Amino acid sequence: MRVNIVHPGAGELQYEIRSIVAFAQALEKTGIDITWENIGDPIAKGEAVPVWITDIVADAARDSFSYAYSPTKGMNEAREFLSQARTEETGTELSPENILFFNGLGDAITKTYTWLNPIARVLGPSPAYPTHSSVEGAHGRSRHLTYNLDPQNNWQPDLEDIRNKIQYNPNITALLVINPDNPTGMVYDPEILKEFVKLAKEFNLFIIADEIYANLAYQDAEFVSLASLLDGVPAIVMRGLSKEVPWPGSRCGWLEFYNTDADKAFATYITSLEEAKMIEVCSTTLPQVVLPKILGDSRYQPYIVERTKAYQKRGKQAADTLNQIDGVQVIEPKGAFYLTINFDDHFLQKSRNLSAQNPEAQKLLDQKLSETDESELDKIFCYQLLAHTGICTVPLTSGFNSYRPGLRMTLLESDESVYTHTLDTLQKALYDYVTS
Ligand SMILES: Cc1ncc(COP(=O)(O)O)c(C=O)c1O
């Protein structure tokens, strides 16, 4: 090429959650049964969408207007519904004009960072959902800057670490909080969220709150939307339909803008996001048409409660089973449908090993390990576990930009005997590894 066509931030793009699929499929061809625990898609994992929801979607699909472009910011009825519901929930006014729809929250996250000045950096959690860390890193043309979530304190954010990072890096312009969190399943204490707001005020920052799992916080978790605590701080709250309806294939997520008038540069940045969306015309229409009918239905809340109870039960079962192994720490999640396995500093060792189920799979594993950096011990363990048991998880360090080694699996398996079998197999593999 006449000039270098590679974006300077391209090296930061990584999505291990799906990258591992090709290796798992190759192992599958050798006769290994794969248990897919890598992707957070309730539908792919066998959850059925309730008939009353599919009926609403089917009715809307029969109406020709559902096939039209929608207004750039989103369907008026959907934005009015959300404006009213969210204002009632948080006590903070959200006008329909401050809601902007995207083709899934992944699209919204990408635009949020892409249209930020490259010198303005967003400090995010570690471990973190990789779309945030990858795209923010690509936007800033260097590694995503992170603060630690502390497994010794129920994965709550380390506030001292946040303050230090802000103080020593004047380019940090925003704080990212993912609540309930992916991958840890933690719900943040409202007092901790208030500290985020205080820090944002003190250092003149804005806050990004990814709340895609908000309605999947468990019943006894004290989930509070950041929008209710803002105290005038400019913020973007991110929400979507993928996880809660659940309808990941709808590609429907939205941004809520708060306190846009509090800062001129923030207001201009928000306008640039709206204009970027206008250039694309609009987002998917059908899910926006049905959004008020689904979220406003009296059957919606009971349906959500039933699902979260099942996730909570599976989280407890996983903690009870896996915490029996020395060096393995599982903190019971408080929301969403993920489980993070945290390894203590001595658990993963180069001298420890799990072998593959058959000679052909062993060849594939050896090849894969020869291409893997030998310092990535949780990735090596994840590949060995896959070839040994067929359980496909995601390593924390490369998959979630994490300072802690570990694995993420899901709480989505609804067949109790299959789920129990997966946990027992995992427990035995962890034991075999530690005694190898
Ligand atoms: C924290 C978080 N934010 C955003 C997304 C993206 O969701 P969507 O399907 O709307 O793109 C995910 C998907 O797993 C997620 O876990």
**pLDDT per residue as tens digits for the range 374-419:** 899 999 999 999 999 999 999 999 889 999 999 999 999 999 999 9
Are 227 and 279 in the same domain?
yes
- Which element (helix H / strand E) includes 126? strand 121-126
Structural domain that includes position 263: 51-295
- Domain membership of residue 142 (yes or no) is yes
Output the pLDDT for position 308: 97
Task: Measure 245 CA to ligand 1 centroid, in angstroms.
Answer: 13
Output the pLDDT for position 193: 97
Are 93 and 139 in the same domain?
yes
**pLDDT per residue as tens digits for the range 23-52:** 999 999 999 999 999 888 999 899 999 999
Nearest to 101 by CA among 288, 332, 280: 288
Are 330 and 204 in the same domain?
no
- Domain membership of residue 4 (yes or no) is no
Output the pLDDT for position 2: 76
Are 38 and 75 in the same domain?
no
Are 103 and 90 in the same domain?
yes
Task: Measure 287 CA to ligand 1 centroid, in angstroms.
Answer: 16
- Domain membership of residue 143 (yes or no) is yes
Exposed/middle/buried for 158, CB within 10 Å: 0-12, 13-18, 19+? middle
Instruction: Supply the CATH number for residue 356's domain.
Output: 3.90.1150.10
- Last residue in a domain, options 260, 295, 330: 295
Instruction: Supply the CATH number for residue 161's domain.
Output: 3.40.640.10
- Last residue in a domain, options 250, 277, 295: 295
- Domain membership of residue 2 (yes or no) is no
- Domain membership of residue 5 (yes or no) is no
Count of structural domains within the chain? 2
- Domain membership of residue 202 (yes or no) is yes
Output the pLDDT for position 245: 95
Are 268 and 342 in the same domain?
no
Task: Measure 106 CA to ligand 1 centroid, in angstroms.
Answer: 6
- Last residue in a domain, options 259, 275, 295: 295
**pLDDT per residue as tens digits for the range 270-283:** 999 999 998 898 89
**pLDDT per residue as tens digits for the range 312-326:** 999 999 999 999 999
Task: Measure 431 CA to ligand 1 centroid, in angstroms.
Answer: 33
Are 305 and 251 in the same domain?
no
Runs of H (alpha helix) within 36-129:
51-61, 76-90, 105-114
DSSP state of 15: -
Sign, CA dihedral 145-136-106-302, equals positive
- Mean pLDDT per block of 10 residues along the chain (436 residues) reads 73 70 94 92 92 98 96 96 98 97 96 95 94 90 92 96 97 97 96 98 98 97 96 97 96 97 96 92 95 98 97 98 96 97 95 95 95 92 97 92 95 95 97 93
Output the pLDDT for position 428: 97
Which of 41, 105, 283 for mutating ligand 1's site (highest number of atoms within 8 Å of CB)? 105
Distance CA 193, CA 157 (A): 9
- Rounded to 5 degrees, φ, ψ at 128 are -145, 155
Are 404 and 418 in the same domain?
yes
Are 78 and 181 in the same domain?
yes
Contacts of 234 (CB under 8 A, 6+ apart): 206, 207, 258, 259, 260, 262, 263, 266
Distance CA 52, CA 21 (A): 33
Are 175 and 221 in the same domain?
yes
| Total residue count of the chain as it appears in this document | 436
Q: Which residues line ligand 1 (CB under 6 A)?
A: 40, 104-106, 129, 178, 182, 210, 212, 240, 242, 248, 253
**β-sheet bridge partners, residue 208:** 176, 236
- Domain membership of residue 414 (yes or no) is yes
Torsion on CA atoms 73, 75, 79, 85, rounded to nearest 10: -150
Output the pLDDT for position 7: 77
Are 371 and 252 in the same domain?
no
Ligand 1 atom showing the smallest separation from residue 248 Cα: 9
- Domain membership of residue 315 (yes or no) is yes
